[in-house]
Structure 1
């Protein structure tokens, strides 16, 4: 039992580290080593990207108080267990970064893990049938129309939806007791000003589409 728990813990830690920082950091001995190496790499890349431009601008006396902020890069990574019940665990990662320009960007990613198999869940694990993506796309459009109290795709497009990408079932989703929520980061489906888009489909809408494996996990 102890060896199984250690193996599960190590597996989950590797998933979490990969989600937050990248798979190249999973060989580090501790989370402190991961963070230190990530910060070192970030700093090195920052200097490589900005130092030549900064030095040239400074030489040309183009670096003034109003433009110095363009060289202030920041990155924050926050993660947590969003949902844990039975053999289903949902891990959330929020990343805020600013690399110069008019504004920073916020991105959120989710990792849904089946603890019985110690493996992440993708759409192919959750839904059955060859045409489930087409069916999901229709359900997503219908739910988005209902959420916004409109009746046509055109009305949604006039609001800004679909102007930066197509609405397709995303692998960035999270499960909970009541349903599945598809999460679209800024620019994936709508412009920055609209923020991220979340579309939730309750299980009663999709119960005939989900696999036996998922049915056991959520009940």
Structure 2
């Protein structure tokens, strides 16, 4: 389907069939005789072209995969509440759309519009001034990819992770993760304040630090990092102290903490996912 947008050409493919994973025993669901939930997915692969008549013209690739809950019951208010939290985590600027499909479409339209606003006038000026196809700089080509995963965590908790990759003409592409945990019993997001006991950050950081040393040694293919000084020499925790991040997952075997690129280490080291088992961290968790 081809649609003109602000002088550009917009080609989009929205998968009509939803990818579905049925979870008959998940997170407080009732048995087959009662309500059942499934994790549905809306994948979208879209390309925005600056000039449809020129196959070598710059373009923006947009890939989206939004996962959310679907209930077998027509009026399941709890599932609606949970999905609202998932939308906020995936793209807060577009949350509250009439349907999951409309939500994904709104994100697509927004990214496409932003791309054309950013580069189209400059491109048209360059072409008018005689720029040839083999002279087009790479920074005219943008790329966005937003993926999500929705899985069962500990007890009655949903784990939701959103991973965003984007290249918008800079020296390097950027990527980051955003994690939330949702109480399946009431649909509320479980923030740090609701999960970890007040005043325990220092103790939790000591547990995280042990895993950080292990992971840093693994990434660097060494076993010589044993202290903060060694990490500092590698650029880790050089400009910040270790802290309990907002991104964490209350998993089945432990609590995993996510540090994105640049949070605690230089870009080449990527992100860190550090899991502390429950037998070590339980004492610092707020009991339900």
Q: What TM-score, normalized to structure 1?
A: 0.84
Q: 1:136 aligns with which of 196, 204, 228?
A: 204
Specify the alignment match of 1:96 in structure 2. 165
Give the Å deviation of 1:58: 3.7
The 1:211–1:192 alpha-carbon spacing in structure 2 relative to 1, beyond 3 Å, is: same
Tell me how far apart the structure 1 counterparts of residues 135 and 90 of structure 2 sit (CA, whole Å).
33
Give the Å deviation of 1:180: 0.7
Give the Å deviation of 1:124: 1.4
Specify the alignment match of 2:269 in structure 1. 194
**For residues 1-219 of structure 1, what are the structure 2 equivalents within 5 Å?**
6-22=76-92, 24-61=93-130, 65=134, 67-84=136-153, 86-129=155-198, 131-147=199-215, 148=217, 149=223, 150-163=225-238, 165-213=240-288
Cα-to-partner distance string for 1:140-184 (whole Å, 9 max, x where unaligned): 223322443432101112223124644211010111121111101
Tell me how far apart the structure 1 counterparts of residues 172 and 281 of structure 2 sit (CA, whole Å).
38
Q: Is the 8 A contact 1:81 1:89 kept in 2?
A: yes
Select the structure that is richer in strand: 2
Give the unaligned 5+ runs of structure 2. 1-33, 36-72, 218-222
Give the Å deviation of 1:113: 0.9
The 1:63–1:71 alpha-carbon spacing in structure 2 relative to 1, beyond 3 Å, is: farther
- Structure with higher Rg: it is 2
The 1:156–1:4 alpha-carbon spacing in structure 2 relative to 1, beyond 3 Å, is: farther
The 1:85–1:210 alpha-carbon spacing in structure 2 relative to 1, beyond 3 Å, is: closer
The 3-state SS of whatever aligns with 1:81 is strand
Tell me how far apart the structure 2 counterparts of residues 63 and 31 of structure 1 sit (CA, whole Å).
42
CA RMSD of aligned residues (A): 2.4
The 3-state SS of whatever aligns with 1:212 is coil
Tell me how far apart the structure 1 counterparts of residues 129 and 148 of structure 2 sit (CA, whole Å).
42
Give the Å deviation of 1:25: 2.4
Cα-to-partner distance string for 1:113-154 (whole Å, 9 max, x where unaligned): 11123111111111113x211222222223322443432101
The 1:196–1:61 alpha-carbon spacing in structure 2 relative to 1, beyond 3 Å, is: farther
Tell me how far apart the structure 2 counterparts of residues 141 and 68 of structure 1 sit (CA, whole Å).
43
Select the structure that is richer in helix: 1
Q: What TM-score, normalized to structure 2?
A: 0.66
Aligned length: 211
Q: Which is further off, 27-36 or 79-88?
A: 79-88
The 1:72–1:163 alpha-carbon spacing in structure 2 relative to 1, beyond 3 Å, is: farther
